[in-house]
């Protein structure tokens, strides 16, 4: 097994116990028919905990990263057919559920999904694998592809995007105040030599971002590296497509949990969950009109954060924002005896 995957086994997944608590009612209600979707499998930490906590449940784990998927499959092999790992981007979940073969997929199609977790963004494992180019503190190839089947790397973006497109990416996906200035510096530097590794980009950012901002705004490369990663992997487009897709496959009483680590992700999740949990009855009417009541209810007040104690144990949990919603009805579905009844 990859050394970083082995090391990652010692990490407790972020907010593991709270996430499990949110997902538990739907899983327990469906019993041996319960299927959990771990849409961001990573090293398999959350999934292993779910399989041990809910001994009758199945987990279908999705990951676009073949290295992560291979390690997770090896780690979880002892659970037999209760775990299935699938190589796909998480917004491909509908195709996975429709086409998958085996008892986990049969249960999901017959009874709906009992619980779903999406731990968004780059994983600790990916950050730890220096050769992947996600981390700005080491010199590595400017790759940043979570899925090696993708054609465009971070280096390609730096070396080919126009000034306007590059500035847009840095501003929209990194909230970078100096996006235009950085884009100008990149275009000037790439005329001398194409960008290939991270150290040269980090040096450029140090030289371009004013000293006063460097002293107070965190590492000067953080926002640019985030923006490039999001662009390379189309992360926000995937997330926007995911939530309405996943919501259609949940059983009544089941919960979806989303863990965001940056504001752009959290805004998309917040907006999508608000849509799912808001009645479409015209304002002013005393009751919901037929077919207008929301299918979901929010389980979290705002976004929940890691406790100070957890942040002390695992600093990577500091930025996490957790939102959850439970399905309370399914207007378009016919109830079966195994359907969980909402409150």
For the domain that residue 47 is a member of, what is the CATH number? 3.40.50.150
**Co-location of 225 and 141 in the same domain:** yes
Residue 227 lies in a domain: yes
pLDDT at residue 22 tops 50: yes
**Co-location of 243 and 119 in the same domain:** yes
Residue 207 lies in a domain: yes
Q: Pull the structure tokens for residue 57.
A: 């449940």
**Co-location of 136 and 175 in the same domain:** yes
- Asked whether the CA dihedral 70, 322, 90, 196 is positive or negative, the reply is negative
Residue 32 lies in a domain: yes
Buried b (16+ CB within 10 A) or exposed e, 179-194: bbebbebbeebeeeee
Residue 332 lies in a domain: no
**Co-location of 191 and 216 in the same domain:** yes
Angstrom distance (rounded) from CA 298 to CA 300: 6
Q: Quick check: 160 and 105 in contact, CB under 8 A?
A: no
**Co-location of 31 and 112 in the same domain:** yes
pLDDT at residue 335 tops 60: no
Residue 280 lies in a domain: yes
Q: Quick check: 195 and 201 in contact, CB under 8 A?
A: yes
**Co-location of 66 and 42 in the same domain:** yes
Is residue 46 very low, low, confident or very high in pLDDT (cuts 50, 70, 90)? very high
pLDDT at residue 2 tops 60: no
Give the bridge partners for 85, in sequence order.
61
148 compared with 63, residue with greater pLDDT: 63
Annotated binding site: 44-46, 63, 90, 119, 126
pLDDT at residue 341 tops 50: no
pLDDT at residue 215 tops 60: yes
Q: Quick check: 91 and 238 in contact, CB under 8 A?
A: yes
Angstrom distance (rounded) from CA 134 to CA 165: 21
Is residue 218 very low, low, confident or very high in pLDDT (cuts 50, 70, 90)? low
| Domain CATH number, residue 225 | 1.10.150.170
223 compared with 10, residue with greater pLDDT: 223
151 compared with 136, residue with greater pLDDT: 151
**Co-location of 89 and 142 in the same domain:** no
Residue 6's pLDDT is 39
234 compared with 338, residue with greater pLDDT: 234
* Residue where one domain finishes, among candidates 178, 205, 233: 233
Is residue 343 very low, low, confident or very high in pLDDT (cuts 50, 70, 90)? very low
- Mean pLDDT value across residues 72-78: 95
Please name the helix (run of DSSP H) or strand (run of DSSP E) that holds residue 231, with its range, or none: helix 222-233
**Co-location of 99 and 34 in the same domain:** yes
Mean pLDDT taken over the chain: 86
**Co-location of 15 and 119 in the same domain:** yes
Residue 49's pLDDT is 97
Give the bridge partners for 291, in sequence order.
none
Residue 135's pLDDT is 63
**Co-location of 202 and 147 in the same domain:** yes
- Mean pLDDT value across residues 5-15: 60
Is residue 136 very low, low, confident or very high in pLDDT (cuts 50, 70, 90)? low
Domain interval for residue 147: 131-233
Please name the helix (run of DSSP H) or strand (run of DSSP E) that holds residue 126, with its range, or none: helix 124-128
Residue 150's pLDDT is 84
- Mean pLDDT value across residues 266-272: 94
Q: Quick check: 36 and 23 in contact, CB under 8 A?
A: yes
Q: Which of 105-114, 207-216, 260-269, 307-316 has the highest mean pLDDT?
A: 105-114
Residue 273 lies in a domain: yes
Q: Pull the structure tokens for residue 10.
A: 């010692």
Is residue 8 very low, low, confident or very high in pLDDT (cuts 50, 70, 90)? very low
Angstrom distance (rounded) from CA 22 to CA 17: 9
Angstrom distance (rounded) from CA 299 to CA 297: 6
* Residue where one domain finishes, among candidates 211, 233, 255: 233
Dump the DSSP string for 11-77: SPPTTHHHHHHHHHHHHHHHGGG-EEEESS-TTSHHHHHHHHHSTT-EEEEEES-HHHHHHHHHHTG
pLDDT tens digits, one per residue of 280-293: 777 767 777 777 78
Number of domains in the chain: 2
Residue 331's pLDDT is 64
End-to-end Cα, the chain, rounded Å: 45
**Co-location of 200 and 267 in the same domain:** no
**Co-location of 172 and 318 in the same domain:** no
- Mean pLDDT value across residues 153-178: 94
Residue 338 lies in a domain: no
Annotated binding site for S-adenosyl-L-methionine: 44-46, 63, 90, 119, 126
Is residue 216 very low, low, confident or very high in pLDDT (cuts 50, 70, 90)? low
pLDDT tens digits, one per residue of 186-205: 999 999 999 999 999 999 99
Residue 301 lies in a domain: yes
* Residue where one domain finishes, among candidates 233, 260, 291: 233
- Mean pLDDT value across residues 94-110: 96
Q: Quick check: 41 and 68 in contact, CB under 8 A?
A: yes
- Mean pLDDT value across residues 141-147: 86
């Amino acid at each position: 097994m990859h050394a970083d995957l082995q090391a990652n086994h010692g990490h407790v997944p972020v907010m593991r116990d709270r996430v499990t608590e949110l997902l538990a009612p739907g899983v327990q209600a469906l019993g041996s028919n319960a299927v959990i979707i771990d849409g961001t499998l990573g090293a398999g930490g959350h999934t292993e905990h779910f399989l041990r906590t809910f001994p009758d449940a199945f987990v279908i784990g999705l990951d676009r990263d073949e290295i992560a998927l291979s390690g997770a499959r090896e780690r979880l092999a002892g659970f037999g057919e209760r775990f299935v790992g699938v190589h796909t981007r998480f917004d491909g979940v509908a195709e996975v559920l429709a086409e998958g073969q085996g008892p986990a997929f049969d249960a999901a199609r017959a009874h709906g999904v009992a619980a779903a977790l999406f731990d968004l963004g780059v994983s600790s494992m990916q950050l730890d694998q220096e050769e992947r180019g996600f981390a700005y503190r080491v010199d590595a190839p400017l790759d940043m592809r979570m899925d090696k089947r993708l054609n465009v790397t971070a280096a390609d973006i730096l070396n080919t995007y126009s000034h306007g497109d590059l500035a847009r990416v840095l501003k929209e996906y990194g909230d970078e105040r100096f996006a235009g200035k950085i884009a100008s510096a990149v275009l000037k530097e790439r005329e001398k030599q194409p960008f290939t590794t991270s150290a040269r980009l980090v040096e450029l950012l140090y030289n371009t971002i004013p000293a006063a901002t460097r002293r107070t705004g965190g590492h000067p490369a953080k926002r640019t590296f985030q923006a490039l990663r999001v662009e390379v992997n189309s992360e926000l487009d995937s997330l926007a497509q995911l939530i309405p897709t996943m919501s259609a496959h949940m059983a009544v009483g089941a919960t979806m949990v989303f863990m965001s680590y940056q504001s752009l992700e959290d805004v998309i999740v917040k907006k999508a969950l608000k849509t799912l949990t808001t009645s479409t009855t015209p304002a002013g009417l005393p009751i919901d009109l037929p077919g207008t009541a929301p299918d979901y209810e929010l389980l979290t007040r705002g976004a929940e954060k890691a406790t100070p104690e957890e942040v002390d144990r695992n600093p990577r949990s500091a930025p996490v924002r957790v939102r959850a919603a439970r399905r309370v009805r399914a207007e378009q579905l016919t109830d079966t005896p195994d359907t969980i009844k909402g409150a």
